[in-house]
Structures are given as C-alpha cells and as structure tokens.
C-alpha cells in the first residue's frame, strides 16, 4: 500500500503513524507528493478528484481518501478493533477527539497558507486571527476534556499528537504548551513512541 503525500502534513503523518501503530508499518510506504493551494497536482488528481493529500493506494490500486477514512481502513485491514472501538460510547469519544484534532490541524494549515502562501497585499488579518482563536479554543478543550482518550493509543490520540507536532514545526510562535500542562505531558510522552520517531518532521 502507498500513502501519497508529504510527512510535513499533519494529515499524512496521522496515517503513517496509524499504519505503524496498528501493525502495518511494513506494508505501507510513503509516495512523496506535494500540493500547493493554487495548483493541481496532476498525479494526485488521477487518484482523487479532490486532489488533496493524503491518498492511500491499496494493494489493488484502489484510492482511499481522506485521512479519517484512511486511518479507519488501516485499522480494519490490520484487524485492530481497539484503535477505533466498536463500543458506542468509546467509539464516538475517539472519533470526536479525532475531529477536534483535525479541526485544529486544518486551522494550522490554513494559517500557514495565509502567512506563507497568500500573495503579498492579499493577506486577510481578521481571518488569520480567527484561525489562531480556533486553534487556541481547540487546544484548551483538548487540555480540559480529553485526558481519558489521550491516555490510550487510538485514532484520536494519534491525530492529537500529529497536530501538536505540526504546531511545533510550523507555528512555534503560538507557544501552545503555555498554560496546558496535561497536553504538554501527553505530547512529550507520545513523541517518544516508535511510531512518531519513525516519521519525524525534520
């Protein structure tokens, strides 16, 4: 199986770390593919009309996207029923944390595009401020409401760890650890896992 994308993307990294955590690290490889907000990646477009990363190409050359679907697919292929639990309460806690982490990641990527990709003179300061506020609100909620799910290894905690890693890589100025000791401890512990070390950002 191939995951098309760039490990700098928090969404691509979530999938790669997932493959490692569910026991498929030797069956999944990264196929380098970059995207730019104003251009079409022709090779990606052959796999997905959306043209975003990541896209997983199965052993039978079938495309699967987006990252949430890929993560569930990998857990399914591995037969890992704990990564996204079947039990209703646990399942939707994990999936909601996954959505929260991905929402923060989307805001982080959007902020990066706004700051580094949007042409000079076309930046939208109010929008950038809204993205920063969304990131902060999401992190505060993660700090206060999600310790039970973050304590385990699941789709939600992997997404959270990869999102925090992206903020460290692209948005150090946000100093997300300040005032969030539980989240800091979580990130420090999770970053020590082999799955995270296997796919470093730098």
Question: Model confidence over 1-30: pLDDT tens digits?
Answer: 999 999 999 999 999 999 999 999 999 999
What single-letter DSSP state applies at residue 46?
Answer: H
pLDDT at 110 over 80: yes
Q: What is the mean pLDDT of residues 22-46?
A: 93
* Spacing of C-alpha 139 from chain mean position: 14
For residue 120, the model assigns a pLDDT of 83
Q: What is the mean pLDDT of residues 42-63?
A: 95
pLDDT at 202 over 80: no
Q: At 81, is the pLDDT very low, low, confident or very high (cuts 50, 70, 90)?
A: very high
For residue 119, the model assigns a pLDDT of 85
For residue 170, the model assigns a pLDDT of 97
For residue 5, the model assigns a pLDDT of 97
- Contact yes or no for 55/45 (Cβ under 8 A): no
What structural domains and CATH numbers belong to the chain? 2-78 (3.40.30.10), 88-193 (1.20.1050.10)
What predicted TM-score, i.e. pTM, was given to this entire model?
Answer: 0.96
As given in the structure block, the two tokens for residue 66 are: 């987006």
For residue 36, the model assigns a pLDDT of 84
CA distances from 89 to 48, 76, 95, 105, 180 (A): 33, 19, 10, 24, 26
């Amino acid at each position: 199986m191939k995951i098309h994308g760039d490990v700098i993307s928090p969404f691509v990294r979530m999938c790669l770390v997932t493959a490692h955590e569910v026991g498929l690290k030797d069956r999944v490889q990264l196929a380098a593919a970059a995207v730019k907000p104003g251009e079409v990646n022709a090779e990606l477009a052959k796999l997905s009309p959306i043209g975003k990363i990541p896209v997983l190409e199965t052993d039978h050359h079938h495309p699967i996207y987006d990252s949430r679907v890929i993560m569930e697919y990998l857990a399914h292929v591995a037969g890992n029923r704990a990564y996204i639990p079947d039990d209703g309460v646990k399942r939707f806690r994990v999936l909601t944390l996954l959505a929260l982490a991905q929402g923060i990641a989307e805001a982080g990527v959007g902020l990066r595009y706004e700051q580094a990709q949007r042409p000079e003179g076309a930046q939208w300061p109010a929008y950038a401020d809204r993205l920063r506020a969304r990131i902060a609100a999401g992190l505060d909620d993660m700090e206060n409401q999600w310790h039970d799910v973050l304590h385990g290894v699941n789709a939600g905690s992997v997404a959270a760890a990869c999102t925090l890693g992206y903020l460290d890589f692209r948005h150090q100025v946000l100093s997300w650890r300040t005032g969030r000791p539980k989240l800091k401890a979580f990130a420090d512990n999770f970053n020590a896992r082999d799955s995270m070390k296997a796919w470093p950002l730098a």
